[in-house]
Structure 1
Amino acid sequence: MKGQEWYQADDVAEEYDDKRFSKGGQLIDRREKQAVLEAIMPVEDRNILEIACGTGRFTVMLAEQGADVVGLDISAAMLQQGRTKAQRADLAGTLEFLRGDAGRLPFPDDHFDTVIAMRFFHLADDPEAFLREMRRVSRDQIVFDTFNRFSARSVYNWALPMGSRLYSKSEVSELLAKTNLTLVDVEDDFLVPYGLYRSIPNALASPIRTIDTAVGGNAVTDHFASVSYWNTRLR
C-alpha cells in the first residue's frame, strides 16, 4: 500500500480531518457520506466492515444510523482519532475499531452484510487482491470509490504526497468481472478537483459546487469526473 508510513504519523492523523474536510472540504465530506448512505440504505441493524476507516468518518456515521460496524485501519494514530469521535457520538448501533491489514482481513468468510472502502483504492498496489479479500468476508455488498484517470486529478497527481492510482471505467469493470461482483450502480462526481474545494472558504465553494453539480449531471461530463462511487453485489 502506498503511503502507509505517512498515514500512520501522529501529526497527519491529528490534522487529517481539518485539512481535508474543513472550509469547502465540508462539501466533499457531505457528498461522500451521502453516497455511502444511499448505497447501503436501510442502514439500521446492518453488519458492516469499513476497511481503511481512518479517523472514523463513515464508521461513526453508520453506527449513529443504527448499524453494527467494525472499522479497520493500519494506523493506530488514525484509529485513536476515530475512538475519540465515537466517545462524543450518540451511537444507536455498535462500533469497534481494530488495527489490521486490509490485505489479510482477520474475519471468517461471509462475516459481514456490507464491506465499504472509501479513499482506499487510490493507494492499492494490487486492487484485485484487496477486492477479493473484501469479497471473501462479505455475504452481500461491497461499496467503494475510485479516482478517475480522465479527470483534473491526473494533472496534479504527481504533486500529492504519495500520488494516486487512477482508474478508467473499463479497468474497474474488469476488476468486478475478475472478482465475481455485479455492478448495481455507479455515480460520478466532482469535475472541480478536491484540492480547490479544500483551499477556499465554504461560502465560495458552495456556488462552485452548484455549477459543478449542474454541469456534471450529464453522460458526457461524467467521463471527466474526479471520483466514482461503486455499489456492487456478490454474484
Structure 2
Amino acid sequence: MKGQEWYQADDVAQEYDEKRFSKGGRLIDRREKQAVLNAIGPVEDKQILEIACGTGRFTSMLAERGAEIIGLDISGPMLQQGRQRAQSAGVADHLEYMRGDAGRLPFPDDHFDVVFAMRFFHLADTPEEFLQEMCRVSNDQIFFDTFNRYSTRSLYNWALPMGSRLYSSREVHSLLDTADLKLVSAEHDWIFPYGLYREIPNRIASGLRWIDGGISRLPLGGRLASVSYWNARL
C-alpha cells in the first residue's frame, strides 16, 4: 500500500487533522462526514468496521450516533490520536481501535453490517484484493470513495508524498462487478481539488465551494468531479 511508512510517522499523525481539515479543509471534513451518513443511514446498534480509520474522524461520529464500531489502521500513532478523540467525545465505550492490515482483516466472514473506507482506495496497490476482503467480513453494505482520473485531482497528484491511484468510473464499476457488489448509489463532487481549499481561509473557501457546487449541478458537472462516493450492497 502506498504511503505505509509515511502514515506511521509520529509527526504525521500529530499534524494530520490540522493540515487537512483546518481553514477551508473544514468544508471537506463536513462533506465527507455527510457522505458517510447519507450512505449508511441510521446507525444505531449497527456493527460497523472502518478500514484505514486514521485519527478517528468517522468512528467517533458514528459512535456518538449509537453505532458499535471498530476502527482499523496500520498506524499506531494515528490510532492513538483516535483514542484520545474518542475519550474527549465520551464514546470510548462504543468503539474499539485495532492496528492491522486491511488486506488480511482479523474478523470472521459476515461479521459486520457495514464496512467502509474513506481516503483509502487512492493508496491501494491492489484494490480488488482489498475490496474482496471488505466484502468477506460484511453481511450487507460496502461504502468507499475514490479520486477520479479525469479531474483536477490529476493536476496536483505529483505534489503528494506518495502517488495517488486515480480511477475512472469504468474501473470502479469493474471493481464492483468483480466483487459481486450491486451499486445502490453514487455521489460525485468537488470540481476544484482539495489542495486548493486547504490553502485558503474558510470564508474564501466557502465562496469557492458555492461556485464548485453550481458547476457540479450542471448536466456534465458529475464528469468533472474529482471525488466519488460509492454505496454498494452484497
Q: TM-score, normalised by structure 1?
A: 0.98
2:197 is the alignment partner of 1:197: yes
The verdict on how the C-alpha distance between 1:151 and 1:91 changes in structure 2, with shifts beyond 3 A counting, is: same
Deviation string for 1:178-215 (max 9, x for gaps)? 00000000000000110010000101100110110111
Distance in structure 2 (CA, Å) of the matches to 1:72 and 1:213: 32
Q: Which residue of 1 aligns with 2:146?
A: 146
Deviates more, 1:89-98 or 1:225-234: 89-98
Q: Which residue of 1 aligns with 2:84?
A: 84
The verdict on how the C-alpha distance between 1:6 and 1:92 changes in structure 2, with shifts beyond 3 A counting, is: closer
Q: Which residue of 1 aligns with 2:6?
A: 6
- SS of the counterpart of 2:228? strand
Letter matched to residue 67 of structure 1 = A
1:116–1:144 CA contact under 8 A, matched in 2? yes
2:227 is the alignment partner of 1:227: yes
User: How many percent of aligned residue pairs carry the same amino acid?
Assistant: 71
2:191–2:216 CA contact under 8 A, matched in 1? yes
- SS of the counterpart of 2:209? helix
2:25 is the alignment partner of 1:25: yes
User: Deviation at 1:93?
Assistant: 7.0
- Structure 2 unpaired stretches of 5+: none
Distance in structure 2 (CA, Å) of the matches to 1:93 and 1:23: 31
1:147–1:165 CA contact under 8 A, matched in 2? yes
2:123–2:164 CA contact under 8 A, matched in 1? yes
- SS of the counterpart of 2:164? coil
User: Deviation at 1:217?
Assistant: 1.4
2:83–2:92 CA contact under 8 A, matched in 1? no
2:134 is the alignment partner of 1:97: no
Distance in structure 1 (CA, Å) of the matches to 2:79 and 2:120: 15
User: Deviation at 1:155?
Assistant: 1.4
Distance in structure 2 (CA, Å) of the matches to 1:112 and 1:218: 37
Distance in structure 1 (CA, Å) of the matches to 2:57 and 2:156: 26
Q: Which residue of 2 aligns with 1:52?
A: 52
TM alignment of 1:201-212, pairs within 5 A: 201-212=201-212
1:153–1:193 CA contact under 8 A, matched in 2? yes
Deviation string for 1:78-134 (max 9, x for gaps)? 000000000000339710000000000000000000001000000000000000000
Q: Which residue of 1 aligns with 2:114?
A: 114
2:86–2:92 CA contact under 8 A, matched in 1? no
TM alignment of 1:67-78, pairs within 5 A: 67-78=67-78
The CA RMSD measured in Å over matched residues stands at: 1.0
Distance in structure 2 (CA, Å) of the matches to 1:21 and 1:112: 29
Off by >3 Å, runs of 4+ in structure 1:
none
Q: Which residue of 1 aligns with 2:134?
A: 134
- SS of the counterpart of 2:119? coil
Distance in structure 1 (CA, Å) of the matches to 2:59 and 2:92: 12
Q: Which residue of 1 aligns with 2:170?
A: 170
- Structure 1 unpaired stretches of 5+: none
Count of equivalent residues: 234
